[in-house]
Structure 1
């Protein structure tokens, strides 16, 4: 017998245009799509970009990462889970040094402890879904 599958979305336009859900629960595991810094359809702390769409300032990396964790926590709550149930995370960053500097304090705040008990990987990327994004957070949680 195959375990039941349940999904959740944020009700933002790019879910329909791209064609995906924000989270899928399969059995006791919850897989979150990459969470970005948005509140509804509005980006939170968007980075300034030049005429070609290239980021010109990475100062908002911490603020964006904080919103990514908030959005992830909101999704997990719908499954009766929390960030305490996260076992693995991947942080995609446009500027790895800026993300590395921000990640320590933001992660500790998000997980509520000085030593988050989460496997973590950071990957540098030249760009994310929207040019103004600096980070994206992908999580896996186990109930």
Structure 2
């Protein structure tokens, strides 16, 4: 079994790794929109609630960049992803962004991946709009 992490503070705080390769399968923990320990395109928050979902596309794009980075550490790519689950705070905003962003990330007009979009009332970080979990086979 091999593991990978980004070395961000929340890995130690929560106690997990970003990716695990077991046999020919790579499991990615839910990926966020960050570069190092800095959040990318944070959503505005007031009174503990997101007030604007317009950063969904930017957050989604960075999340796929992070997933691709982790997969590359195992010699894999988004082409090897067989399943993804997108957890989002706002389904309409995510659905509007998902088509163009996913097609760009997977490099084709018809991404060959099983995909589930799930609305949730909250995510780990207050300014977070999306988290994506991936499973890849190599």
Bin the TM-score by the shorter chain. Answer: over 0.9
Q: What SS does the aligned partner of 1:88 have?
A: strand
1:94 paired to 2:76: no
1:40 paired to 2:40: no
| Pairs aligned (count) | 138
Q: How does 1:1-143 map to 2 (within 5 A)?
A: 5-50=1-46, 52-143=47-138
Q: CA deviation at 1:73?
A: 0.2
Query: Deviations for 1:30-79, whole angstroms, at most 9, x for unmatched residues?
Result: 000000000000100000000x2100000000000000000000000000
- Over 6 Å off, 4+ runs: none
Q: What SS does the aligned partner of 1:107 have?
A: helix
CA distance in 2, matches of 1:44, 1:93: 16
CA distance in 1, matches of 2:98, 2:133: 14
CA distance in 1, matches of 2:92, 2:117: 10
- Normalising by the residue count of structure 2, what TM-score does the alignment of the two structures yield? 0.99
- Normalising by the residue count of structure 1, what TM-score does the alignment of the two structures yield? 0.96
Which one has a bigger Cα radius of gyration? 1
Q: CA deviation at 1:127?
A: 1.1
